[in-house]
Amino acid sequence: MHLFDEMAATIGEAERVSLKWQGKGTGWMPFNLFDFGGLLLECYTWAPNKRLLEIGCGPGPNLMLARAMGWDACGIEINEAMAQAARETGLDVLTRDAFEFTGYDAYGAIWFNRAERDDRRKETLLEQKVLSEMADGAVLICANLEKPPPSSWWIISDQWDDLRRGAWAKPTKPGATPAG
C-alpha cells in the first residue's frame, strides 16, 4: 500500500469514528481533520520530541491522523465512554480531567480545541495551566484560544485574526533560538 492510500484509509476511519459520536449529547465536537493535519505538518520539525498529547480527544479521530503522520500520539478524555471507544481502536487514551492531569511537560506538542467549551472561565484557566506546565521548547497547537500565548513564544502558525488558532513554541530560555 502506498503512503497516499494509507493516509486516505486513516482519514476515512477517523471520519467514521467522528460521525459515530456527533450529536450524542457529549459536548464533543470534531475538529476538521485537514486543518488539524496542516497544523501538525507545520509543527513537526519544531517539536523537541514527537510525543503529541490531545486534551479532550473524544473517540480519537485526531489521534488516528497524528499517528499516521508519524507522531507518538496519545490523549486524555474526561468522558469514559469516548475514552474507551478510542482505546478499542488501539489508541493510547487516559480517562482524565485536564485540570487534574500531571505530565504536560513530557510532550513535545500539545493540542486542544475548546476542551472546556461551555465555561469560558474554566477554558482560560485550562489554557493558563497548560502553558505554564508545558516543557520549554514544546509546541502548543490550538484552535479557539481565549487569548494567544505570551509574545515571548515563537509563532509557528498564526491565524489569530480570523480563526483564533495557531501553533506556538514555548521559549527554551531568554534569547534562545527556536528549534524549527
pLDDT tens-digit profile of 121-137? 777 889 999 999 999 99
Task: Identify the burial level of 124 via C-beta atoms within 10 angstroms of its C-beta, where 0-12 means exposed, 13-18 middle and 19 or more buried.
Answer: middle
User: In the predicted model, is pLDDT for residue 174 greater than 70?
Assistant: no
Grid coordinates representing 103 are 505530565
Model pTM?
A: 0.90
Domain architecture of the chain: domains with CATH: 3-169 (3.40.50.150)
* pLDDT classification of 84: cutoffs 50, 70, 90: very high
CA atoms within 13 A on the CB side of 82: 27
C-alpha to C-alpha distance for 71 and 51, rounded to whole angstroms: 6
Stretch 45-49: mean pLDDT, rounded? 95
Stretch 88-99: mean pLDDT, rounded? 96
User: In the predicted model, is pLDDT for residue 142 greater than 70?
Assistant: yes
* pLDDT classification of 50: cutoffs 50, 70, 90: very high
Tell me whether strands 165-169 and 154-159 are parallel, antiparallel or unpaired.
Answer: antiparallel
For the ranges 45-49, 138-142, 165-169, the lowest mean pLDDT is seen at: 165-169
Grid coordinates representing 156 are 509557528
Mean pLDDT (the chain) is 88
pLDDT: which is higher, 26 or 153: 153
3-state secondary structure of 34: helix
C-alpha to C-alpha distance for 49 and 107, rounded to whole angstroms: 7
Per-residue pLDDT of 22-38, as tens digits, reads 877 777 788 899 999 99
